[in-house]
A and B are shown apart, each in its own frame.
Chain A
Amino acid sequence: MALKWQDFKTDVFVDWCPGCGNYGILAALQMALAELGLEPHRVVLVSGIGCSGKLPHFVKANGVHVLHGRTLPFAQGIKIANPDLEAIAIGGDGDGLGIGIGHLVNAGRRNMDITYLIHDNGVYGLTKGQASPTLRLGLKVKAIPRPNINEAVNPLTVALAAGYTFVARAYAYDTKHLKEIIKQAILHKGLALVDILQPCPTYNDINTKEWYAGEDRVDPKTGKPTPRLYKLEEVGYDPVVHDLNEDFDKKIAAMEKAREWGDKIPIGVFYKNELLPTFQERITQRIPFYIENPPAKQKICDDAGSPITDIDVFLKELRVT
Chain B
Amino acid sequence: MDKGFNWMAGGPQGSGVDTAANIFGRACGYGGLYVYGRREYHSNIKGLHSYFHLRISSSEVSANVNDVDMLAAFDAETVVRHITEVVPNGGIIVDQNQLETKILEIPTLPLEFKSIFKEFLKENGIGDRLADLLEYARKKGIHVFKVPYMELLEDVADKLGIEKLSKITRMINVLTIGISFGLLGYDVALIEKAIKDVFGEKPKIVEMNLLALEVAYDYAKNNFSKDFGYRLPKISVNEERIFLSGNQAVAIGKVLGGCRVQTYYPITPAADESEYIEAHEILSTKVSGMEAGVVVLQTEDEIAAINMASGAALAGARASTSTSGPGFSLMVEGLSWAGHNEVPVVITYYQRGAPSTGLPTRHGQDDLRFAIHAGHGEFPRIVLASGDIRECFYDAVNAFNYAERFQLPVIHLIDKALANSSQTFPVFDLTKVKIHRGEILDEKMLEGLEYKRFTFTESGISPRVLLGTRNGVHWHSGDEHNEYGHISEEPHNRIRMMEKRMKKLETIEREVPITEKINFSGEPNAKNMIVSWGSPKGAIVEALNELSREGYSLGFLQVRMVHPLPGEHIKEILQKADKIIDVEMNYSGQLGGIITEKTGIPMDFQIVKYNGRPMTTTEVYDALKLVLDGRAPKRQVLTYGA
A residues contacting B by CB (< 8 A) are 10, 12, 39-42, 44, 46, 49, 54, 56-57, 60-67, 70, 72-82, 84-85, 102-103, 105-106, 283, 286-287, 289-290, 293-302, 304-315, 318-321
Contacts and interface: CB of A to CB of B under 8 A. Distances in A.
B284 to A, nearest CB: 4
B142 interface: no
> What band does the interface of chain B fall in when counting residues whose beta carbon is under 8 Å from A?
35 or more
B29 A320 contact: yes
Contacts of A76: 304, 308, 311
A70 B316 CA distance: 19
Interface stretch (B126-134, B236-244, B411-419, B619-627): B236-244
B404 to A, nearest CB: 10
Interface stretch (B215-223, B475-483, B498-506): B475-483
A62 B453 CA distance: 11
Contacts of A283: 295
Contact of B307 (A66, A290, A306, A321): A66
A103 B318 CA distance: 23
Interface of B: 26, 29-30, 32, 237, 239-244, 248, 251-252, 255-258, 260-261, 263, 280-287, 290-295, 297, 299-301, 303-305, 307-319, 333-334, 337, 397, 424, 427-428, 430, 433-437, 466-479, 485-487
Contacts of A320: 26, 29-30, 241-243, 424
Interface-centre pick from B30, B240, B297, B314 (highest chain A CB count, 10 A): B314
Contacts of B248: 314, 318
B468 A84 contact: yes
Contact of B282 (A12, A54, A67, A287): A287
Contacts of B260: 81, 295-296, 298, 300
A319 B242 contact: yes
B287 A81 contact: no
Contacts of B257: 300, 307
Given A295-B319, A314-B255, 16 more contacts: A44-B468, A57-B477, A65-B476, A67-B334, A73-B311, A77-B311, A77-B312, A82-B467, A102-B300, A286-B282, A296-B260, A298-B258, A299-B290, A300-B292, A319-B242, A321-B240
Given A41-B468, A63-B476, A102-B301, A321 B315 contact: no
Contacts of B316: 81-82, 296-297
Contacts of A60: 473
B290 A296 contact: no
B477 A65 contact: yes
Nearest to B474: A62
Contact of B312 (A12, A44, A46, A296): A296
A66 B487 CA distance: 12
B366 to A, nearest CB: 26
A302 B312 CA distance: 22
Given A287-B282, A321-B29, A81 B315 contact: yes
Nearest to B248: A318
B308 A77 contact: yes
Contacts of B239: 321
Contacts of A40: 473
Nearest to B397: A307
B57 to A, nearest CB: 14
Contacts of A304: 434
17 contacts: A54-B487, A57-B487, A64-B314, A65-B477, A77-B314, A77-B315, A81-B260, A293-B293, A296-B316, A298-B292, A305-B434, A305-B435, A307-B256, A308-B290, A309-B284, A311-B252, A315-B428
Nearest to B25: A320
A67 B434 contact: no
B303 to A, nearest CB: 7
A75 B405 CA distance: 24
A144 to B, nearest CB: 26
A73 B299 CA distance: 9
Nearest to A292: B291
Given A295-B312, A307-B433, A315 B258 contact: no
Contacts, number: 254
Name the prevailing secondary structure of the B interface residues.
mixed
A313 B317 CA distance: 22
Given A70-B307, A77-B315, A102-B300, A296 B479 contact: no
Given A57-B475, A63-B475, A81-B311, A296 B468 contact: yes
A40 B424 CA distance: 53
A305 B30 CA distance: 34
Task: Give the 7 A-B CB pairs with smallest separation, nearest first.
Answer: A77-B311, A320-B29, A300-B258, A77-B308, A295-B260, A295-B317, A81-B315
A290 B286 contact: no
A321 B25 CA distance: 12
Contacts of A298: 258, 260, 291-293, 317
Interface-centre pick from A41, A42, A289 (highest chain B CB count, 10 A): A41
A160 to B, nearest CB: 18
B476 A321 contact: no
A254 B246 CA distance: 51
A56 B475 CA distance: 8
B284 A313 contact: yes
Contacts of A290: 293, 295
A66 B337 contact: yes
A295 B313 CA distance: 10
B293 A287 contact: yes
Interface-centre pick from B286, B295, B307 (highest chain A CB count, 10 A): B307
B534 to A, nearest CB: 23
A286 B466 CA distance: 26
A301 B478 contact: no
Contacts of A64: 311, 314, 467, 475-476
Given A39-B470, A54-B487, A106-B299, A73 B307 contact: yes
Contact of A81 (B283, B303, B317): B317
A74 B241 contact: no
Contacts of A80: 261, 295, 297, 308, 311-312
Contacts of A311: 252, 255-256, 430
B277 to A, nearest CB: 10
B461 to A, nearest CB: 18
A108 to B, nearest CB: 11
Contacts of A300: 257-258, 260, 292, 318, 435, 437
Contacts of B301: 102
A318 B243 contact: yes
Given A77-B319, A102-B300, A313-B284, A85 B468 contact: yes
B308 A287 contact: no
A12 B486 contact: yes
A270 B345 CA distance: 39
A289 B293 contact: yes
A56 B477 CA distance: 10
B27 to A, nearest CB: 9
Given A64-B314, A80-B312, A298-B292, A308 B467 contact: no
Contacts of A309: 255-256, 258, 283-286, 292
Nearest to B472: A41
A305 B428 CA distance: 17
B307 A67 contact: yes
A287 B295 CA distance: 8
A41 B256 contact: no
A57 B251 CA distance: 38
A321 B32 contact: yes
A154 B428 CA distance: 55
Nearest to B34: A320
B282 A42 contact: no
B258 A301 contact: yes
Contacts of A106: 299-300, 304
A308 B311 contact: no
A115 to B, nearest CB: 15
B486 to A, nearest CB: 5
A87 to B, nearest CB: 9
Contacts of A10: 486
Contact of A289 (B32, B291, B334): B291
